[in-house]
Every structure is written in C-alpha cells, then in structure tokens.
Amino acid sequence: MESFRSETRNWLEKNCPTSLRRPVVASEIPWGGRNARFASEDARLWLERMGQRGWTAPTWPKEYGGGGLSKKEAKILQEELRRIQAPPALVSFGLSMLGPCLLEFAKEEQKREFLPKIIRGELRWCQGYSEPGSGSDLASLQTRAVDDGDDFIVNGQKIWTSYADESDWIFCLVRTEPDAPKHDGISFLLFDMASPGVSVSPIKLISGSSPFCQTFFQDVRVPKKNLVGKRAGGWTIAKRLLEHERSMISSMGSPGARASLTVPEVAARYVGQQDGRVADPIVRDRIAQQELDALCFGLTTKRSVEASKAGQGPGHAASMFKYYGTELNKRKYELLMSIYGAQGLGWEGEGFDDEELDATRQWLRSKGNSIEGGTSEVQLNVIAKRVLGLPD
C-alpha cells in the first residue's frame, strides 16, 4: 500500500496542473460532454489525464476504463488528492448515478459502450424521471414506449430534468406495459438527446437560475439494444438509482461540501464578537445547534460507511441521509439568512458582494433539496415502512 501511495503521489505531482491546486468553487469543475466547457485549459488537461487513468471512477473495473482500485487504494488516492488540494476532475450524473446502475444491471456490450465514455467525461447525462403528474408518486409515470420491431417509439413529457439542455444522452423511465400494475410496467431506456422528436425547455427557478428543464418526446425512435435490464423490470433499477441520487444530494449538507466560509465565520463578520463569542447569544445558540447537528450527521455518515464495509449496512440508510442531510442544509441557509441580515437580501447590482449574492441564491436553491430526488415526506414514508415496519 505504501508503494501505491508513493506511485500515486508521483503521478499526481506530475499530472495535476499546479494552477488547480487550491479550493475551487463548484462552477469551476467541468461536467464533460460533447460540448464540454472548461474554466481553463488546465481543467481540460486534468480531466483528460484523470479520465485516461480511470481515476474519475477509481473503483470501477479496468476493463471498462475505470481505475480498478481496491477500496483501500481508492481511499489512498482520495487522501493524496486532498493533500495537494486537487479539485475533482469531473462532476457528472454518469459517475454518481447511472454508472453504478450500469455496472449492476446492464448487458456486457452496454457496459463496454457507455462506461468508458462516462469515465472520460465524453457524454453528459440527464435523468428522465419526474413527470408533471408523477412527482412523489413516480411509479405512476405516463411516458409511453411502444414496441416497433427493433425499436421503441417514445412519447411523453418529463419535468425537472436537470441540465437537459446541456446533456447528450438521457436515462429515462418509460411505460412499456400500460396494462400491468404501475410498478411492473416500467422500463429503463438510454437514448441520445439529439434524436429527432426530443425538445427541451428550461425552467426558471425562484433562485433565478435554470438548472432544470421540461423535456418533451414526440415519436422518438430508440433502439431496443438501449434497454437496460429486463423489459418491464425498470422499477428495480429506478429505485437503486434513486439511492445513489439520495446519497449524492445528502452529501450537499455534509461537512465535506461546505461553503467557503463556515457559519461561525460568517457570524463573526456580520453579528460581531464579544469576548471571542458571537455577540448575540440567541444566534450563537442556533449556530451551536447547527454545528452540532452537522457533526452528528457527519459521524453517522462515517458510521454507515464503516458498517457497510463490515457487511452490516444499516438498511435503507439512503432515505435517512437524504432526509436529514437536506433538512440540515435548509436549516443552515435559514440561519445564514438571519445572520447576513439585510446584506443577505440583495438580488443583483451594487451594494452586495459576490458572497452575499451567492448566499441569497443558495438559500433559495436549498429549498429544492428536500423536494428533488424524493421529498422529505416520501423519505419519511420509506423509513416508516421499510425500517420501522409500520403498517400501510
């Protein structure tokens, strides 16, 4: 292991551009894809090198372009990356959501086709799940895929499709068996967003940004070889993917992904200090509660990782992390809004610095965390049913 560490250290020393070795903001990390945008030439180089080595997906098998690392080696890689403050080379739904499901459910030729492109950031993926009439009740989805020889013909509408307007391909839930019970008629399809009949319309959010879209399908022809898993067996894959999504969203509230300034630091600046303490005792108590909850949440994540390594994973932990992590994140921004006072209320223009304007938008954006990927209420239902065994 020590030789792996020194090899890794040497390789990173040679290959991680020095201009990137610093804390970066989320917008500097590339999403890849056919029309990939990079904050700098170095960011492009970094993705290229990490992708070649398979280290964007360190534990995925080498035969599909992954790093082929053991969990221990992957941990060392993480430590070495952290040591030099290297930013992630790629952020992608392919890596965090689709890839793990392909590894588990896809046919061999699908793995060979798609996994290398995910790892190297060549295709950007979006998630075709929610529909206007199917939010929390996702399994009621109506987008139809009709059998037509070697193809399916897809018709319907998706909503809340993150970055559909910038994505190359979609992983999409469609109904292939309209007469079957709702959970048993769903299939999991992959198709190109450039296919004829796909159109996309961005949705503007309360935070002013448009990360989500409405996506329309009109007679979109999808080859049957792009069906993942069994026909009508899509719900199992859909649920597994949601678990990956929930872990991803809940990590937004964890200490690893914190903003540039900590809450106590913001308070020191905006509320002021008295004898080294946040001057307002009520705000100080709220901060202590927030920090304490974040500490306990982080420790629970750690415990869950250790338990699953020991083969005793707490069942349905994903719902707990999704629920608690997003609610915690919302509380944090509520607290930050009271700390910033009037300086947290700016929308644009003079009178507010970037951090303040960002805080306003983050506060608004955080409201979506407990809605997307299954609402808090849905997560509580899952816990009540699956973990506590409470009756329907």
Partner 1 sequence: MSLILTDEQELLRETARDFVKERSPVARLRALRDSADADGFSRDLWREMAELGWVGIFQPEEYGGSDLGFAELGILLEEVGRTLVPEPFLGTVVLGGSALLLGASEQLRKDVLPGVCSGQTLLALAFQEQARFAPFAIETRAEPAGSGYRLSGEKRFVQDGHVADQLVVAARTSGSTGERDGITLFLVDASSAGLTIVRTIMVDSRNAARVSLDGVEVDRSRVLGEPERGAELLDQLLDRGAVALAAEMLGSATEAFERTIAYLKTREQFGAPIGSFQALKHRAADMFCELELSRSVVLEALRATDEGRADLSQLASAAKARLSDTAIRVANEAVQMHGGIGMTDEEEIGFFMKRARVAEQTLGDAAFHRDRFATLRGF
381 interacts with partner 1 by CB under 8 A: yes
For residue 336, state whether it binds partner 1 (rule: CB under 8 A): no
| 259 vs 268, beta carbon nearer partner 1 | 268
Question: What's the per-residue H, E or C state across the chain?
Answer: CHHHHHHHHHHHHHHCCHHHCCCCCHHHCCCCCCCCCCCCHHHHHHHHHHHHHCCCCCCCCHHHCCCCCCHHHHHHHHHHHHHCCCCCCCCCHHHHHHHHHHHHHCCHHHHHHHHHHHHCCCCCEEEECCECCECCCHHHCCCEEEEECCEEEEEEEEEEEECHHHCCEEEEEEECCCCCCHHHCEEEEEEECCCCCEEEEEECCCCCCCCEEEEEEEEEEEEHHHEECCCCCHHHHHHHHHHHHHHHHHHHHCHHHCCCCCHHHHHHHHCCEECCEECCHHHHHHHHHHHHHHHHHHHHHHHHHHHHHCCCCCCCHHHHHHHHHHHHHHHHHHHHHHHHHHHHCCCCCCCCCHHHHHHHHHHHHHCCCCCCCCCHHHHHHHHHHHHCCCCC
C-alpha 392 chain-centroid distance? 31
Smaller CB distance to partner 1: residue 230 or 302?
Answer: 302
Cα-flanking dihedrals φ and ψ of residue 336, to 5°? -60, -35
Shortest Cβ 265–partner 1 spacing (Å): 8
Please tell me the distance from the alpha carbon of residue 339 to that of residue 258, in angstroms, as a whole number. 17
Q: How far is the CB of 391 from partner 1 (least distance, A)?
A: 5
Which of residues 296, 341, 351, 353 is near partner 1 by CB under 8 A? 296
Give me the least distance between CB of 239 and partner 1, in Å please: 18
The window from 109-117, 159-167, 278-286, 330-338 that contacts partner 1 (CB under 8 A) reads 278-286
Please identify, using beta-carbon distances, which residue of 173 and 339 lies nearer to partner 1. 339
Please report how close the Cβ of residue 5 comes to partner 1 at its closest, in angstroms: 21
Q: Which of 208, 303, 341, 342 binds partner 1 (CB under 8 A)?
A: 303
User: How far apart are CB 345 and partner 1 at their closest, in Å?
Assistant: 24
- What does the alpha-carbon distance between residue 366 and residue 362 come to, in Å, rounded to a whole number? 6
Report the residue from 1, 26, 194, 388 that binds partner 1 according to the rule CB under 8 A. 388
Q: Out of 245, 327, 348, 350, which one is annotated catalytic?
A: 245
363 strand-pairing partners:
none
Q: Applying CB under 8 A, does 289 fall inside the site for partner 1? A: yes
Q: How far is the CB of 252 from partner 1 (least distance, A)?
A: 17
Active site residue 245: yes
- Rounded distance, CA 188 to CA 372, Å? 19
Size of the site for partner 1 (CB under 8 A): 42
Pick one of 299, 342, 345, 353: the residue that binds partner 1 (CB under 8 A).
Answer: 299
CA 116, CA 54: separation in Å to the nearest integer?
8
Hey, which residues between 247 and 276 contact partner 1 (CB under 8 A)? Answer: 264, 267-268, 276
The reply on whether position 287 binds partner 1 by CB under 8 A is: yes
* 297 contributes a contact to partner 1 by CB under 8 A: yes
> Which residues, numbered 312-331, are part of the site for partner 1 (CB under 8 A)?
312, 314, 320, 323-324
Residue 253 beta carbon to partner 1: minimum distance, rounded to whole angstroms:
12
184 is a contact residue toward partner 1 (CB under 8 A): no
Binding segment for partner 1 (CB under 8 A), chosen from 2-10, 182-190, 277-285, 335-343, is 277-285
Q: Which of 291, 355, 356, 358 binds partner 1 (CB under 8 A)?
A: 291
282 binds partner 1 (CB under 8 A): no
Task: Decide if residue 387 touches partner 1 (CB under 8 A).
Answer: yes
Residue 279 touches partner 1, criterion: CB under 8 A: no
Told to check if 389 binds partner 1 by CB under 8 A, we report: yes
Centroid of chain to Cα 190:
18
Beta bridge partners of residue 199, listed in sequence order? 216
Angle between helical axes of 317-340 and 281-309 (0-180°, round to 10): 160
Q: Does residue 97 touch partner 1 according to CB under 8 A? A: no
The footprint of partner 1 (CB under 8 A) covers: 264, 267-268, 276-278, 284-285, 287-289, 291-293, 295-297, 299-300, 302-303, 306-307, 310, 312, 314, 320, 323-324, 377, 379-381, 383-385, 387-392
Please list the active-site residues.
245
